[in-house]
Amino acid sequence: MNSTPLPCRPRVYLAGFDVFRRDALAHGARLVATCAEFGFEGVYPLDAQAPPDLDGPRQAAWIYRANVESIRAADIVMANVNDFRGPGEPDSGTAFEIGYAAALGKEIWAYSSDEGTLIERVPSVPDPQGRVCERGYLVEDFGLAKNLMIACAARLVQGDARACLEAMAQGRTQ
């Protein structure tokens, strides 16, 4: 009988707006499979399905609790922070998940194929105080690709999920 313990694969919570894709379940399965290629156990938010008898608010609360518990149980959070519903802005739920993971002291990695800094990508006009977006708010200019709260909390990889997982695998072995 072999008593050598099996190596533990780090659990990676896969944060991102991918859950809103029309092919969300198939996409999640591909992400989980890609995690396995790099030696990680992928945990996709849609792995756990809410009971079908819940109404909207109760279903939302169930999903929230399930995702928070998955983040708690993960070793790493890997987040898709590509622009979601506007230039320079990732999904707000993903931003919450990154913040929650940071509060728990989790290792956080993020990826984005968006190129350039916020000041370069967010439509804005010059103002004596800096550049102002179409809604009249200053656009932060720290030379970062994402809001400083995300950019400073996560190791940001330029590219897709595969590029991020490759960087994570290399970063864990160095």
pLDDT tens for each residue of 103-132: 999 999 999 999 999 999 999 999 999 999
Given the DSSP bridges, would you call strands 107-112 and 155-158 parallel, antiparallel or unpaired? parallel
Q: Could you give the number of structural domains in the chain?
A: 1
Residue 93 lies in a domain: yes
**Rounded Cα–Cα distance for residues 64 and 60 (Å):** 6
DSSP-derived letter for residue 44 is: -
Closest of 113, 101, 85, 82 to residue 16, by C-alpha:
82
pLDDT band at 8 (very low <50, low <70, confident <90, very high): confident
Residue 83 lies in a domain: yes
Residue 66 lies in a domain: yes
**Domain containing 151 — which CATH number?**
3.40.50.450
- How is residue 140 written in tokens? 């932060």
Residue 77 lies in a domain: yes
Q: How high is the pLDDT of residue 26?
A: 98
Which positions ≥6 away from 152 have C-beta within 8 Å?
Answer: none
Helix (H, G, I), strand (E, B) or coil at 4: coil
**Are the CB atoms for 12 and 74 separated by under 8 Å?**
yes
**Are the CB atoms for 145 and 157 separated by under 8 Å?**
no
pLDDT at 1 over 80: no
Range of the domain at 156: 11-114+146-173
Residue 131 lies in a domain: no
- Which residues face 107 on adjacent strands? 76
pLDDT (mean) for 36-48: 97
Q: What is the pLDDT of residues 45-99, one digit of tens each?
A: 999 899 999 999 999 999 999 999 999 999 999 999 999 998 989 999 999 999 9
Q: How high is the pLDDT of residue 7?
A: 62
Residue 119 lies in a domain: no
Residue 76 lies in a domain: yes
Q: How high is the pLDDT of residue 174?
A: 47
Residue 136 lies in a domain: no
pLDDT at 6 over 90: no
Helix (H, G, I), strand (E, B) or coil at 98: helix
- Which residues face 124 on adjacent strands? 133
